[in-house]
Amino acid sequence: MKSRFLHRAGAFLLALALACSLLAVPAAADDPATDPPALPVLVASISLAPSSLSLNTDSQKTGTITATVQPDNATDKTLEWESSNPSVATVSNGVVTALTAGTA
């Protein structure tokens, strides 16, 4: 009799342990605190169009350069525009403004 009771108690405890482990796994998998953070997608290349731009301070004072960042799903596609010669031309968000004769 004692053996039968221990066998049933053992089976019950095993079933209870399995049920608890099955309930715990999905809850942990859905918890953002335990999920590993997604790896960032790095920028592979940046292309500019047009590749060169001719402006003058009289008739065509501004022009626009468009930047294309690859891959499309890059995590951070933020660009910082900067003129190589700000006394000749300035640039803001791809819009180039000629200030004086020269090359930038």
What distances in angstroms separate CA 25 from CA 19, 21, 35, 36, one per listed residue?
10, 6, 12, 15
Q: Which domain holds residue 31?
A: 1-37
Would you say residue 104 lies in a domain?
no
Query: How far is 14 from 73, CA to CA, in rounded Å?
Result: 47
Q: Are residues 31 and 58 in the same domain?
A: no
Would you say residue 13 lies in a domain?
yes
Provide the domain count of the chain. 2
Query: How far is 3 from 13, CA to CA, in rounded Å?
Result: 15
Q: Are residues 57 and 94 in the same domain?
A: yes
Q: Are residues 65 and 85 in the same domain?
A: yes
Render pLDDT for 37-96 as a digit per residue (tens, 0 to 9).
Answer: 889 999 999 999 999 999 988 888 999 999 999 999 999 999 999 999 999 999 999 999
Pairing of strands 62-64, 66-70: unpaired
Would you say residue 20 lies in a domain?
yes
pLDDT score recorded for residue 81 = 95
Q: Are residues 59 and 21 in the same domain?
A: no
Q: What is the mean pLDDT of the chain?
A: 80
